[in-house]
Amino acid sequence: MIIPSVDYGGTGEELLFLHANGYPPDCYKPLLARLAEHYHVTAMVQRPLWPDSDPEEVDDWHFLTDDLLRYLDAHHPTPIACVGHSMGGIALLRAALREPERFKTIVLLDPVLLPPFFIVFWYVVRKLKIGERRHPFLKAARERRRHFDDLERLYQGYRRKSVFRYFDDEALRDYVEGIACPMDEGSYQLCYSAEWEVRVYKISIWRDMDIWRGLPNLKVPTFIIRGAETDTFWKRTGKLVKRKQPEIRVEALERSTHLLALERPNEISKLIQSFFEENS
């Protein structure tokens, strides 16, 4: 299968973007538009959004990296600069560890990288088959409303939710339009299926010790930007990353959460541009 992508235009150096679980590329329009002022920006569409893809075929997150490397084989035979958010950041980091020659620089936006003790804990939880009860996001993903008649009503409802407190109106409208795919008779449904969103959460992190073993040998210039209020890439994780690989730059962005790529597009784009220029 030809792996799909979305071209956001721009000129200059090629930049590839990888989205998070549940967040199609169009959710990131404010950030990608700012990056397109300096780069030619393309976003790879990851497997959960491919037509007829089967979530039961995968059992860990390694498939995300396999797909990324296949996409690079087809579209970018020479090294490229890449940015990944959350799940996309882990796909990108693992690819840079496997085949560093494929990348000029990488930027990871609040990647889903948990400390080794937590990976071991989750491995045990999975083996005991109690992950369904312990995972913090599965219930919400299963019960999330997925059909809507009116995007304006959806926007107004989201505007009142605290999780979107740092989104400006432009970013929230782009997010709402990005997650919703039009259906017949003017209605909408979430582009991400419940089956894929739940599956990605269920199979996460339990086989991620390979990342920690590989970090000391990471050869690609790497910048990790975490939300100062994130619940995903913890402050202690950043300190451990620096101990494993001091060359990695780690920075926290104030007034931002795990969704920093959508909350602070101006600041993120400037940080990315500065890092790429320093390592060009």
pLDDT digits (tens, 9 = 90+) for 16-39: 999 999 999 999 999 999 999 999
Contacts of 181 by beta carbon, 8 Å cutoff, 6+ apart: 188, 189, 190, 191
* Residue 134 pLDDT: 66
Q: Could you give the angle at the alpha carbon of 253 between the alpha carbons of 204 and 96, nearest 5°? A: 45
Task: Give me the residue spans of the domains in the chain.
Answer: 5-278
Q: Are 222 and 191 in contact (CB under 8 A)?
A: no
pTM of the full predicted structure? 0.96
What homologous superfamily does CATH list for 5-278? Alpha/Beta hydrolase fold, catalytic domain (3.40.50.1820)
* pLDDT tens-digit readout, 249-277: 999 999 999 999 999 999 999 999 999 99
Residue 1: pLDDT band by 50, 70, 90 thresholds?
confident
* pLDDT tens-digit readout, 112-153: 999 999 999 989 988 887 766 667 777 777 878 889 999 999
Residue 208: pLDDT band by 50, 70, 90 thresholds?
very high
